Amino acid sequence: MEMIFDDLAIALTAPRTDAWRPVRAFALDLAGKLFLGLAIGLGVGIGMAIAG
């Protein structure tokens, strides 16, 4: 009986693995690149509009 409680205690204190970490990292990277591209495009567009 003690063995069952020991196994439960070990399972509860074990570090959890996050299966979504690579997906979240890819999504954040993609969102950052899209936002940066949009910011650069708007900057160039506004700069060209000001320049004439």
Q: What tens digit of pLDDT does each residue of 12-51 get?
A: 787 777 888 999 999 999 999 999 999 999 999 999 999 9
Structure tokens at 47: 């700069």
Q: CA dist 17 to 20, 21, 26, Å?
A: 9, 9, 17
The overall pTM is greater than 0.75: no
- Residue 28 inside a domain? The answer is yes
Domain count, the chain: 1
- Residue 3 inside a domain? The answer is no
- Residue 2 inside a domain? The answer is no
- Residue 51 inside a domain? The answer is yes
Q: Buried b / exposed e across 6-41, counting CB within 10 Å, b at 16+?
A: eeeeeeeeeeeeeeeeeeeeeeeeeeeeeeeeeeee
- Residue 11 inside a domain? The answer is no
Structure tokens at 6: 């020991």
Number of residues in the chain = 52
**For residue 50, what are the domain limits?**
17-52
